[in-house]
Chain A
């Protein structure tokens, strides 16, 4: 158990908040485009977004820090790909806490209803 904890802590070194990363309309737009159109370059992402390339680069960095996208070099360009795993993990974490609340409420029920 302790060993597994140590190894999982080592693997998970990113620390940026996923929910905060998604709490911005431009970033949500970027995520939605990567979801619908597949991997895209900064130039392509900036073309229809109505924001500068610099702004898109900044938003992509936030998403990358949160583990939501990954960048790779294709020729001279950086291409960004969505990383669904981070979304799934964030969702699973909330599901776990949600289930924990179900149990907590059943304990409250047992306490007040008897």
Chain B
């Protein structure tokens, strides 16, 4: 009956380390794939304010993000170690319109990069600190997301199917 308190994801990308590094740490590029618009660069110890904006890399996800467009959003940069580590704080799943998350605890998101071989980059993402987020918020965020499940399942099917047929 234990509850994990962090999320960890690893992915190997067929792209040079420098390319992945700038996609993650250049706030303009970050906004393009993540689906947000940020008001300034990522600097250690500084806050970047932004709004959710539909992603430009996937039309279907963009459609899902459309209802949240304009939702304010903030990232407080914790650490930048060139080509290897980028860490920031944010409010997990802070999508509810009109809801103020300012006083709520933030989680820490860490991106760790490593060159596997030239042109191939390994990325590990860790989100931790969930033990500080109120249960009420977590339960509500889940309720909020129920409508998105059908789409998400569809996304997985599409991804798995695409991978299986060698696309």
Contact = CB atoms under 8 A, between A and B. Distances in A.
Interface stretch (A51-59, A72-80, A105-113): A105-113
Interface residues of B, number: 50
A22 B2 contact: yes
Interface string A70-114: 000000000000001011011111101111111111111111110
Contact of A97 (B7, B139, B159): B7
Contact of A91 (B3, B11, B93, B144): B3
Among B2, B93, B136, the one with the most A-chain Cβ atoms within 10 Å of its Cβ is: B136
Q: Helix, strand, loop or mixed for chain A's interface?
A: helix
Contacts of B145: 96
B57 A107 contact: yes
B13 A112 contact: yes
B92 A97 contact: yes
Contact of A106 (B1, B135, B159): B159
Contacts of B20: 108, 112
B10 to A, nearest CB: 9
Interface string B9-24: 1010111000110011
A1 B109 CA distance: 30
A5 to B, nearest CB: 7
B34 A104 contact: yes
A63 B93 CA distance: 25
B155 to A, nearest CB: 6
A8 B140 contact: yes
A87 B134 contact: no
A110 B57 contact: yes
A111 B29 contact: yes
B142 A101 contact: no
B33 A110 contact: yes
A13 interface: yes
A94 B15 contact: no
Interface of B: 1-5, 7, 9, 11, 13-15, 19-20, 23-24, 29, 32-35, 55, 57-58, 61, 92-93, 96, 123, 125, 127, 130-136, 138-145, 147, 152, 155-156, 159
30 contacts: A5-B96, A8-B139, A17-B134, A17-B135, A18-B138, A19-B5, A19-B130, A19-B132, A23-B5, A32-B1, A67-B135, A89-B139, A94-B4, A94-B130, A96-B145, A97-B7, A98-B9, A99-B152, A101-B9, A101-B125, A103-B61, A105-B123, A107-B33, A107-B61, A108-B11, A109-B13, A111-B32, A112-B20, A112-B23, A113-B14
6 tightest Cβ-Cβ pairs between the two chains A and B: A19-B131, A111-B33, A112-B15, A93-B138, A110-B57, A15-B136
